[in-house]
């Protein structure tokens, strides 16, 4: 059986992908950030009737990363991540650093060691769970988006660098899906250690600015990419947003520095108008 390590398997995309890969017969190491999640995931796997090797792996912890090098990983799914919501001029320094430590630095350091093991073996697959926000931006998710832009650069560069060694690299780019992640991102301001009177925005009035899709397409795509059933490098879901995503990438080329000055962009207003956890209406 092919051995797959999925980070951030306690919730969301990683949780379901771990279950589905195990159902397909893969030898799945489902890692979680904290010890309290270990027994919970083991119980959930038993209830689902699948076998998972559940491990505590905080990607920011050097000891945990070293431990992962003993697992002989053949497929690595870098799924663990956090989201920090708020304006780029408001988010405190500690929160900015945490965003990049969890989403970029920790996963990259983990991947460095495992990739070199794959190279010695002559084969392997590395899947980076990026985001649509790694390709576009929205107000109040800029720091999260910046971390995913960094992942895009790392993953694409890695694909070139590891090609001659037989290592496959792919990204999965989820758009707005209703897993709770996006809405939690707009609650992190409540624990900021800052002077609230200096904030540019009142975050109690803001919400994630888009309606959100049922996550099933990401579960299916992430599982298929990790299993090697899909050979495309970039895998964006929902597919209905691919053309919008591409068109939004053109906007900075046409934007003027004076565009819309002294007016509120509709993208900002959307966060005032949207209710949390709004599903896409079919």
Enumerate the active-site residues. 144
Give, as one character, the DSSP assignment of residue 188.
G
| Kind of pairing between the strands at 75-78 and 53-56 | unpaired
Cβ of 230: how many Cβ atoms within 10 Å? 16
- Closest C-alpha to 100, from 81, 117, 114: 81
**Residue count of the chain:** 282
Burial 244-255 (b: 16+ CB within 10 A, else e): eeeeeeeeeeee
Q: List beta partners, residue 32.
A: 56
Terminal-to-terminal C-alpha distance of the chain = 39
Cβ of 156: how many Cβ atoms within 10 Å? 15
CA distances from 203 to 114, 243, 253 (A): 40, 31, 30
- H or E element, residue 126: strand 124-129
C-alpha 42/C-alpha 255 separation (Å) is 50
Cβ of 15: how many Cβ atoms within 10 Å? 22
Give, as one character, the DSSP assignment of residue 89.
T
């Amino acid at each position: 059986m092919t051995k797959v390590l999925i980070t951030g398997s306690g919730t969301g995309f990683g949780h379901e992908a771990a279950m589905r890969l195990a159902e397909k017969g893969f030898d799945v190491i489902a890692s979680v950030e904290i010890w309290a999640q270990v027994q919970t995931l083991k119980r959930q796997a038993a209830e689902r009737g699948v076998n998972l090797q559940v491990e505590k792996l905080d990607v920011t912890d050097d000891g945990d990363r070293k431990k992962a090098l003993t697992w002989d990983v053949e497929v690595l799914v870098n799924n663990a991540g956090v989201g920090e919501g708020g304006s780029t001029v408001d988010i405190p320094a500690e929160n900015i650093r945490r965003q990049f430590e969890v989403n970029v630095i920790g996963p990259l350091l983990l991947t460095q060691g495992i990739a070199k093991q794959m190279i010695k073996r002559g084969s392997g697959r590395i899947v980076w769970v990026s985001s649509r926000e790694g390709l576009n931006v929205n107000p109040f998710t800029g720091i999260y988006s910046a971390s995913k832009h960094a992942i895009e650069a790392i993953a694409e560069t890695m694909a070139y660098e590891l090609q001659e060694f037989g290592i496959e690299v792919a990204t999965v780019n989820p758009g707005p899906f209703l897993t709770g992640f996006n809405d939690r991102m707009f609650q992190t301001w409540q624990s900021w250690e800052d002077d609230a009177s200096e904030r540019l925005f009142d975050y109690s009035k803001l919400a994630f600015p888009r309606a959100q899709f049922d996550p099933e397409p990401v579960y299916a795509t992430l599982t298929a990419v990790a299993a090697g059933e899909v050979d495309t490098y970039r895998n964006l879901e929902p597919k209905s947003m691919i053309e919008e995503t591409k068109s939004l990438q053109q906007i900075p080329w046409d934007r003027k520095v004076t565009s819309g000055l002294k007016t509120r962009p509709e993208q900002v207003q959307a966060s005032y108008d949207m209710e949390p956890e709004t599903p896409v209406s079919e």
